[in-house]
Structure 1
Amino acid sequence: MTTTRIDTKFAALKAEGKKAFVAYIMGGDPDVAHSLEVMKALPAAGVDIIELGMPFTDPMADGATIQLAGQRALDGGMTLQKTLDMATEFRKTDDTTPIVMMGYYNPIYSRGVDKFLIDAKAAGIDGLIVVDLPPEEDEELCIPAQKAGINFIRLATPTTDAKRLPKVLQNTSGFVYYVSVTGITGAAAAQPRDVAPEVARIKASTDLPVIVGFGINTPDAARDIAAIADGCVVGSAIVKEVAAGKGTEDIATFVAALAAGAHSA
């Protein structure tokens, strides 16, 4: 597989001795214009990788905050095509920040995998996190995505045991996303003492960076979790700022503090 922007970003961070800060936003929340404005502000706020949510009617891994964001986006007329259009627009002024699309398989399946991958590549998408496609379904999207030069990023969780882990890592690329808590997004706080041994266990089985998400909502938490992994992801806490009606500048200031926390690890 060719080197992606994700691979390049991690190599650069490693050379600088820095941990990665990944930020999640829901595409089209509360509308496309504001969502795109926030997306464009993220790299200057210190975001290394952007996770762009694909709104879906039946999200199963997301807590109330992200579910409601998806609902607001869908109510505003957001579609998979418009999410891709957001990425295309972002790429007009930023050709280096990696974009990972995160969501569920149904909209991709409905569009058709081949068409989706061509369009995603053209829009400048670097990776996919599709939470409801297990490794047993790798022929469905994972392997075609890798062939198209798009990383397929897999989730490992506290319940991914020693028997299951090799299967989870088998065709994963870009990075491994470790879910720090058992449950949904935004529900509980990530605990470094619980996360550290799990990250070590995963790193013993792969050379890929391990990024920790779920339950991280303060600069201190970002620092503490990034310190024991290769970086961290913040989603719900940022989405809450959008939901509160904050302007782009205020959201960027909030994100910058989180990014500084991760980078100080």
Structure 2
Amino acid sequence: MVYVPFVSSLGKRKGGGKGGGKASGSSSSGGTSGSSSSGGTKGSISSGGTSKTTTTYGGGTSKVSTIPSGQLFAGRQTGGGTRTALYGSGYPIGYYPGGVYHHGVAGRGFPFFFWPLVWGSTAGFGAAYLWASILDYGSPNNGSRPGGPEMQMRIESPNAAQVYHIISDRDTVGAMVEPLQTACPDINNQPLLPIPFDGSSGQPKPELAIQYYRASSVALTLNNYNNTASFSDDESLPATPLPSGIDLAFLNCLNTTIGAAVQQQAFWMMCVALLVAVRNAW
């Protein structure tokens, strides 16, 4: 059974399970491309004034640093997020290392280097925490966003009974095409196609979000879900339960695949590079 916050009584989830397969071939979407091998689809982002190598199935890093002066968000901390801390909740808050859960993402650091996603100016009337995130991180199409402007990807369950969307930056969404199609072959609308996300009318809204990942920089939405608590700044309000009759096996496949494969810093690559440098020095 899939664990979704406020719905299931299971403990905190970890990546893996059915979505543990590796990508192969190549991945290209939205004008960017990444090489792919048994280690996953690789990419590069600029965050905090430095370049970071990312990869699907990357483990992240426990190292924390401070963004230097002269850079966007100077003084905030980056790093410290590993894949075991990747799952968040049903609100745009995410799981921050140390177990911090609060409504809203404005003013926070970047444990996974990626910025939290924003929902656009038409989302969340009456919820100050949603507006604060727009003031902090700009619109969904902000070109300064690590990984590129936000994108969305429609995912249909078998027979199109339920419609999901994954929303994140361009590179993250593009890199998830192959892992999802490989691990969840019952997806009805293959091949998956990322398209731009700007939060305009007809696009997914925050009340549809059933799960956030990677410190709220990735969201999974369900079209017939309506979490009315997302419109409030009251953190004590419970989220609306998932609708009955959904294909939980399919949802579990999406959830575990995203948790296992979504791009993170390729910390192991830095370790390999260091070992090679030491070897060559001898």
Q: Which of the two has higher C-alpha Rg?
A: 2
TM-score, normalised by the number of residues in structure 1: 0.30
Q: Which has the higher strand share?
A: 2
Q: Which has the higher helix share?
A: 1
